[in-house]
Amino acid sequence: MKKKNGFISISVIYSFFIVFLLLLTLMMSTYVNNRYVYNIYKTDIKQQISGKGDDIVDSYPTLIKKIQTEFEYGGINDTSYIYWIAQNGSEYRYQGTNPNNYINFNGKLWRIIGILNVPGTAQYLVKIISAESNPESRINVSSFNSWTDTHMSTMLTAVYNGFTSPYKELVVDTNHRYQGSFVVSKPVGLMHTDDYLYAAPSSSCTQTLSAVQSCRPYNWLGGYNEWTMVKAASGTTNKVYSINADGSVTDTVPCTSALAYRPVLYLKDNVKVSGGTGTSTNPYNIIAGS
């Protein structure tokens, strides 16, 4: 009787063990299968997210298109000259006392001068200027003939080198005009006198160097005693045009004098607007396009 009971006990233990092995096998099989399905879904989701991200970026308008659209669909001509976009051929310029042309660039506020022809090229690119002036500096330690040899050129190169990624990659190393048809190829320059002249509507004042002071109430670029990129009359080696805080422009300041300056640059034509309204509190945010 004892042997029979012992046999039954061993049989029960073996039965439980076999059932346990079967359950363990089933559990492992289910886990492996679920893991396989999970990996498939994970890969598919990643691909969808990646594709959707590309679609979102593709849906953003380029900065060039954004400016052109604002011009074409109204809301740009204000009788008080606060906000105005002027078109001349393929160029567009922001004009008025305070247009919504603010842009976030490298973590600081810049402003859009417009879509302008790059001197000496067939390109039309967005040109921007720092919203705040840099500390006073001289153009050069003595007279000069070429911009590339000046103290200011070194300062502007340092500005460019201080840009961080991805903003640095959005800048075009191209021409800046400094006298007549003479240009210097740099990623960062200074504003041209034309940039200042045409930042006020022609209907509100006279856009000439001799009468430009009358434009000051309507000109968003004014307010500083600052340098421009433009050398004085041909043959002069030590004078550069400067803008005065009262709105006037002069060509009598020696290049060894110290004035404020605002860096200027051109953005690549594929730069896109990812958000913002262009105001100082909600500037346009930009990203690289494809």
Residue 172 to residue 115: CA distance in whole angstroms: 14
- pTM of this prediction? 0.79
* pLDDT range class, residue 207, cuts 50, 70, 90: confident
pLDDT of 73 above 60: yes
Q: What is the pLDDT of residue 12?
A: 56
Is residue 248 within 8 A of residue 212, CB to CB? The reply is yes
Residue 109, number of CB atoms within 10 A of its CB: 14
How do residues 140-149 score in pLDDT, each as one tens digit? 998 887 888 8
Is residue 183 within 8 A of residue 177, CB to CB? The reply is yes
Is residue 189 within 8 A of residue 229, CB to CB? The reply is yes
- The rounded mean pLDDT for the chain is 82
Task: Look at 54-58, 155-159, 261-265 and tell me which has the smallest mean pLDDT.
Answer: 54-58
Q: What is the pLDDT of residue 289?
A: 77
Question: What percentage of residues in the chain have a pLDDT greater than 90?
Answer: 52
Measuring CA to CA, which residue among 101, 127, 133 is closest to residue 280?
101
